[in-house]
Amino acid sequence: MTLTDIAIQNLRRRKGKTLFLLLTFILVVAISVTLNSLAKNMQADLQKSLTQYGANVVITPKSEQFTLSYGGLSVPGVNYEVKHLSAEALTQLKSYPDLMLNSIAPKIIGSASSADNRYLIIGVDFPSEVKMKPWWHIEGRFPLEQEVLIGYGLAKQENLVIGDTLELNRRIYPIVGIMQSTGGSEDNGVFTDFSTARWITGIDSWSMIELNTAQPANTAALLSKVLPDAKVSEISQLVQGTQENIDRFTSFSLLSSLILGLIAILIIFVTTTGNINDRITEIGIFRAIGFRRQHIFAIFIREILLISLAGGIIGYLLGILTSALIAPMVLQKSMSFAFHPFIALTAIGASVIIGIVSILFPAWLAINIDPVEALSSI
């Protein structure tokens, strides 16, 4: 028999008290884990939508007529007085390293016509574009010089397939790829590389530059100053608001966990201190038999370690289960049973620390019990 065995037998055979302490740990850990996993999932969701959003800052020319909402690229053709960004804008942009730009996607946007149609020409750098818009799915391949890739809508409408050709401003271009439907303005576009786009449209600067940055607000503000002739718009105001709400919920979760932890310390402290009275005789026996103070202390520590560890683990599991169950109500979407090692370790670690902190004083009382007085009559 070891001191651990003594601790285990005490916990096993004093079921009521053990269960009460265990429940305290489980509840506190489960509630904290639920709140914090919800917060973490909201963060992760937002992060995902931020990157999926692609561009969160758009630089366009200051032009009354050229209204460009990203949802629907207004095509010149209605408007021939299109202005463009200066050719230096891109170089200027790249000379500011502290903008924290994840990706830069400049574009040349213009129009071209065939005998009976008008087309939206979009000149892009395909690698930059795909980095920003990972949802682009291409059938075929990206076009090289003097080749084009067309949107799904256009292909459908004109009955075009890979290998067909497209007449643009009286020249014939082979179609080497079709972009699957994005539901956006890409569906009706004709994509080419920069030089081809310049050749077709005659535009020798940039029509717009899309940026993805970690700090859209700061970047937009700074760029407005750097590029006075351009219109810099941040297209993540909505995301920003969400971010603030999530930050608030995260703080709330952390604060609640902290308060719950303190309440747990208080509950365990009070109950274990109270239980000492029931254990005075027992401790007197241990001391009379020749147990040192450290042995008694070790029994107390082992008891609380076992309970807090079990409570922490069960509480953690219950917490992620609960968060997965209530996520559909709170987040309007389902959440998987994600294992966050950080939350797991923090939850179980905090549980153990709560246990040890709250046991210190009662254990100190216990080790200072005088065996003779405890046994009243030996």
Partner 1 sequence: MSLIKVCEVNKSYGVGDKIVEALSNINLEINQGEFLALMGPSGSGKSTLLSIIGGLTPPTSGTLQIDDIDVYALDSERLADFRHEYVGFVFQQYQLIPYLTALENVMLPLAITSRPGKEQREMALTVLDKVGLRSKSLRLPNQLSGGEQNRVAIARAIVNRPAIIFADEPTGSLDSKTAKELLELFQTLNKDGLTIIMVTHNEENLAWVNRAIYIRDGVLAQIP
Among 54, 151, 261, 371, which residue interacts with partner 1 (rule: CB under 8 A)?
371
Q: Work out whether 9 is an interface residue with partner 1 (CB under 8 A).
A: yes
- Closer by beta carbon to partner 1, 107 or else 279: 279
Q: Is 282 in the site for partner 1 (CB under 8 A)?
A: yes
- State yes or no: residue 281 binds partner 1 (CB under 8 A): yes
Is there binding between residue 225 and partner 1 (CB under 8 A)? no
Q: Which secondary structure element, helix H or strand E, spans residue 219, and what is its range? A: helix 216-226
Closest CA to 73 of 25, 124, 115: 124
φ and ψ of 43, to 5 deg: -60, -50
Q: Which stretch binds partner 1 (CB under 8 A): 58-66, 87-95, 313-321, 368-376?
A: 368-376
Pick the piece of the chain touching partner 1 (CB under 8 A) from 4-12, 95-103, 189-197, 325-333. 4-12
- For partner 1, the closer of residues 13 and 225 by Cβ is 13
On whether the CB atoms of residues 67 and 356 are closer than 8 A, the answer is: no
Q: Is 14 in the site for partner 1 (CB under 8 A)?
A: yes
Residues sharing a CB contact under 8 Å with residue 327, sequence separation 6 or more, in sequence order: 38, 41, 333, 334, 335
Q: Which of residues 27-56 bind partner 1 (CB under 8 A)?
A: none
Q: Please say which residue, 18 or 218, places its beta carbon nearer to partner 1.
A: 18
Interface with partner 1, residue 162, by CB under 8 A:
no
Residue 10 binds to partner 1 (criterion: CB under 8 A): yes
Strands 57-61 and 138-140: unpaired
User: Could you give the 3-state DSSP secondary structure of residue 113?
Assistant: strand
- The SS3 call for residue 377 is coil
Nearer to partner 1, 11 or 82 (CB): 11
Q: Which of 12, 170, 225, 333 binds partner 1 (CB under 8 A)?
A: 12
Q: How many residues at the interface with partner 1, by CB under 8 A? A: 29
**Cα 329 to Cα 38, 49, 228, 333, distances in angstroms:** 11, 20, 46, 7
Q: Which residues pair with 107 in a beta bridge?
A: 124, 208
First CA to last CA distance, the chain: 25
Exposed/middle/buried for 219, CB within 10 Å: 0-12, 13-18, 19+? Answer: buried
Residues 284 to 313 in contact with partner 1, rule: CB under 8 A:
284-295
Question: How would you classify residue 101: left for phi > 0, otherwise alpha for psi between -120 and 50, otherwise beta?
Answer: beta
Which segment (5-13, 165-173, 325-333, 345-353) binds partner 1 by CB under 8 A? 5-13
- Give least dist CB 278 to partner 1, A: 10
Determine, following the binding rule CB under 8 A, whether residue 1 of this chain makes contact with partner 1: yes
Nearest of 330, 317, 262 to residue 24 by alpha carbon: 262
Q: Does 78 bind partner 1 (CB under 8 A)?
A: no
Q: Is 3 in the site for partner 1 (CB under 8 A)?
A: yes
Q: Footprint of partner 1 on this chain (CB under 8 A)?
A: 1-3, 5-6, 9-10, 12-14, 281-282, 284-295, 371-372, 375, 377-378
